[in-house]
Amino acid sequence: MIDIHTHLLFGVDDGPQTMEETLKMIEKAHSEGITDLICTSHAYHPQYNVEKPEVLKQTTSLTTALVKAGHDIKLHPGQEIRLTEDIIDKFDRNELLTLANSQYLLLELPSQTVPAYTVNIIHALLERETIPIIAHPERNRAIAEKPQRLEKLIRHGATAQITAGSLSGHFGKNIQRLSLRLIESNLIHTYGSDVHNLKTRPFHFGKGLDFLEKKRLYDIADLLLANNERILNDEPLLLLEPELQKPRKFFGLIG
């Protein structure tokens, strides 16, 4: 299994502060059956900005440490990029990292709003053959108040990632219910832990999948995991058509 959203790099954002903590988190990931981790530290966040060279440097050094320790889990570079009006300028200057060097870019909205310029950013990224993945939309206040705001972004070509802890109930029942609603509305395409540490922001990777199975959403659980693998392989994502209950290709801009 592949986790596309993690804060594993140490001493750079609100993730682990030491290499020892990072290695313990990686060991926990391995115990949950995760084989690949994409390291997505915060970029252009109001409090944190882990730039591309640091991500590449630390991902490489951690990979070396894992090989020496005999771990077969693989790390890949990425960033959780906060939406800003000048993000396209940054993209054009080659300052941003996509997920594992794929066509997919993890995009974080401000926690309270969906800015008016978001659709323009989505279109600009698509013009550059890059597909934005909206990180944890279920924890955005504006989307929680009006889920149609996420539907609009999806119709303009974005995709979305649900967080394992949101499904497991780690962030409360309201976010859990909204997460299920977004999934059942076919607005979610990928799955990630958004892990920051092993205490207050743990993986919950298996627990989130268990919740989907409890709701008998087996096909959706399989689809989300398959799409994580497609991101790693830089392949088109799949959507689940509720009326057919089988995957179909996602072709980007649909309305």
Domains and CATH numbers, the chain: 2-249 (3.20.20.140)
Token representation of residue 224: 């989300």
Amino acid making up residue 130: T
pLDDT at 252: 38
Residue 7's pLDDT is 97
Which contacts (CB < 8 Å, 24+ apart) does range 170-176 have? 170/202, 170/204, 170/207, 171/139, 174/144, 175/138, 175/139, 175/144, 176/211
Neighbours of 220 (CB within 10 A): 21
Any alpha helices (H) in the chain, and if so which ranges?
19-31, 52-69, 87-92, 118-127, 141-145, 148-155, 164-168, 173-184, 205-214, 218-232
Q: Mutual orientation of helices 218-232 and 205-214 as an angle, nearest 10°?
A: 140
Question: Please, how many CA atoms are within 13 Å of residue 226, restricted to the half-sphere of its CB?
Answer: 16
195 secondary structure, DSSP code: B
Length of the chain: 255
CA 21/CA 23 separation, integer angstroms: 5
The answer to whether the beta carbons of residues 131 and 125 sit under 8 Å apart is yes
> Residue 62: its pLDDT value, please?
94
**Cα–Cα distance for residue pair 190/180, rounded to 1 Å:** 13
Q: Which amino acid is at 29?
A: A
Angle among Cα 8, 118, 109 to the nearest 5 degrees reads 30
Distance, in Å, from the CA atom of 208 to the CA atom of 170, rounded to the nearest integer, reads 9
The DSSP string of 121-174 is: HHHHHHHTT-EEEEE-GGG-HHHHH-THHHHHHHHTT-EEEEEHHHHHTTT-HH
Q: Please give the single-letter amino acid code of residue 36.
A: D
Each residue's pLDDT expressed in tens, for the chain with a length of 255 residues: 999 999 999 999 999 999 999 999 999 999 989 999 999 999 999 999 999 999 999 999 999 989 888 888 999 999 999 999 999 999 999 999 999 999 999 999 999 999 999 999 999 999 999 999 999 999 999 999 999 999 999 999 999 999 999 999 999 999 999 999 999 999 999 999 999 999 999 999 999 999 999 999 999 999 999 999 999 999 999 976 654 444 444 433 333
pLDDT at 255: 30
pLDDT of res. 191: 97
Q: Are 119 and 91 in contact (CB under 8 A)?
A: no
